[in-house]
């Protein structure tokens, strides 16, 4: 496949995303090729670890390739999108539970679907250019691909903040929030990859890592924790309205841009997930929203405004997040019965 290069080099299973002109956006076929490699390498003694990287300087993976989901969804066909998300999520679970070390090297943009392949491994590497985010609320979706598990595990209330605002994390921010583990200057990546291929020794990542430059989130966290601890998005907005800090002002501006329904569901999902804390629970809950997204959420309108027409003026289904009924949030996250995700072959 021209969009992805999968091979074994030395002791390493190698996965390289090769569509830099599209910011290495993850297509359905690419996701399924990754899943096939995980299945093949889990029991292959030749493969001591996996090394994932991507061509180009701008992005490791800027998200899922949602053009076909939009095209089919606007035509009233919801099956393609549901199949895309169902199968992608099951691949994400296999990445998270893979029995061997997985080293991912994430330069530039790593967003949405890129987080699902880059941030579930054991050795997640960032560099100066790395910008990680979960911006789905801005297109009427929710943080998915297992991103809600990472957000729910982030210190304090960083998860609510990152999940609703889509804040772009630099290398130190990503490490603080639990989306990355190591900072390695990008000029050192070729030598690190060569060592991993030659030796299969994951400790080479530890030896290559250095301290990252200072980030932004650490200084923001006290203000974030103070404002994002409410039970609902409406509680968060009320707290922000009475806070005069620069962080609160920035957050108010960021929250004014996202889908109210998506933000309300995101906060509820993170609160629920903290009591369960498994990748399967995270993905199952995410799928309940995305299964309904094409028909009942702001997703198609969000994609239209951001990607298709690019007018940046979405007409959301609610005027603001305080206007989203709690019962609607509950309805979007209700079990799907026979359509729930199943995990027998994703363990």
Which residue among 35, 65, 88, 144 is the active-site one?
144
Q: Is-above-0.85 flag for pTM?
A: yes
Phi, psi of 64 (to 5 degrees): -80, 150
pLDDT of residue 1: 58
The 3 state secondary structure assigned to the chain is CCCEEEEEECCEEEEEECCHHHCCCECHHHHHHHHHHHHHHCCCCCCCEEEEEECCCCEEECCECCHHHHHHHHCCCCHHHHHHHHHHHHHHHHHHCCCCCEEEEECEEEECHHHHHHCCCCEEEECCCCEEECCHHHHCCCCCCCHHHHHHHCCCCHHHHHHHHCCCECHHHHHHHCCCCEECCHHHHHHHHHHHHHHCCCHHHHHHCECCCCCCHHHHHHHHHHHCCCCCHHHHHHHHHCCCCHHHHHHHHHHCCCCHHHHHHHHHHHHHHCCCCCHHHHHHHHHHHHHHHHHHCCHHHHHHHHHHCCCCCCCCCCCCHHHCCHHHHHHHCCCCHHHCCCCCCCC
Q: Which of 13, 63, 64, 166 is catalytic?
A: 64
136 is a catalytic site residue: yes
Intra-chain end-to-end CA distance of the chain, in Å: 27
Any catalytic annotation for residue 170? Answer: no
Q: Which of 113, 140, 163, 200 is catalytic?
A: 113
One digit per residue, the tens of pLDDT, for the chain of length 347 reads 589 999 999 999 999 999 999 999 999 999 999 999 999 999 999 999 999 999 999 999 999 989 899 999 999 999 999 999 999 999 999 999 999 999 999 999 999 999 999 999 999 999 999 999 999 999 999 999 999 999 999 999 999 999 999 999 999 999 999 999 999 999 999 999 999 999 999 999 999 999 999 999 999 999 999 999 999 999 999 999 999 999 999 999 999 999 999 999 999 999 999 999 999 999 999 999 999 999 999 999 999 999 999 999 999 999 988 899 999 999 999 999 999 998 865 44
pLDDT of the residue at 58 = 98
What is the CATH class of 4-339? alpha beta
Is-catalytic flag, 229? no
pLDDT in the model for residue 322 = 87
Cβ neighbors of 145 (< 8 A, separation 6 or more) are: 64, 88, 89, 92, 112, 113, 115, 116, 117, 283, 286
- 246 included as an active-site residue: no
Query: Which residues contact residue 199 at a Cβ distance below 8 angstroms, ignoring those fewer than 6 apart?
Result: 10, 11
What confidence score (pLDDT) does residue 346 get?
42
Candidates 35, 136, 223, 268; catalytic one: 136
Query: In this structure, what are the phi and psi dihedrals at residue 3, rounded to the nearest 5 degrees?
Result: -90, -10
Domain boundaries, the chain: 4-339
CB 180 within 8 A of CB 174: yes
């Amino acid at each position: 496949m021209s969009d992805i290069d999968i091979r074994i080099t030395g002791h390493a299973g190698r996965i390289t995303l090769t569509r830099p002109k599209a910011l290495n956006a993850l297509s359905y076929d690419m996701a399924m090729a990754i899943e096939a490699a995980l299945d093949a390498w889990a029991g292959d003694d030749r493969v001591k670890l996996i090394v994932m990287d991507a061509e180009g300087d701008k992005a490791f993976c800027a998200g899922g390739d949602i053009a076909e989901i939009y095209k089919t969804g606007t035509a009233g066909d919801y099956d393609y999108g549901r199949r895309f998300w169902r199968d992608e999520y099951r691949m994400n679970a296999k990445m998270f539970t893979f029995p061997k070390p997985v080293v991912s090297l994430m330069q530039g943009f790593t967003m949405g679907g890129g987080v699902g392949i880059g941030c579930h491994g054991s050795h997640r590497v960032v560099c100066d250019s790395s910008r990680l985010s979960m911006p789905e609320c801005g297109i009427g979706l929710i943080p998915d691909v297992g991103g809600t598990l990472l957000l729910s595990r982030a210190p304090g209330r960083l998860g609510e903040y990152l999940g609703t605002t889509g804040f772009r994390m630099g290398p130190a921010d990503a490490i603080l929030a639990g989306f990355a583990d190591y900072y390695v200057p990008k000029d050192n990546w070729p030598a690190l990859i060569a060592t991993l291929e030659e030796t299969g020794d994951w400790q080479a990542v530890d030896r290559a890592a250095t301290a990252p430059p200072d980030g932004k989130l650490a200084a923001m966290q006290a203000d974030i924790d103070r404002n994002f601890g409410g039970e609902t998005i409406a509680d968060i907005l009320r707290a922000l309205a009475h806070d005069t800090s620069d962080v609160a002002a920035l957050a108010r501006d960021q929250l004014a841009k996202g889908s109210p329904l998506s933000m309300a569901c995101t906060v509820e999902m993170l609160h629920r997930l903290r009591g369960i804390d498994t990748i399967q629970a995270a993905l199952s809950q995410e799928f309940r929203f995305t299964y309904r997204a094409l028909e009942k959420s702001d997703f198609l309108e969000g994609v239209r405004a951001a990607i298709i027409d690019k007018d940046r003026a979405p007409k959301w289904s609610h005027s603001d997040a305080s206007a989203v009924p709690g019962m609607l949030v509950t309805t979007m996250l209700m079990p799907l019965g026979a359509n729930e995700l199943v995990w027998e072959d994703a363990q």
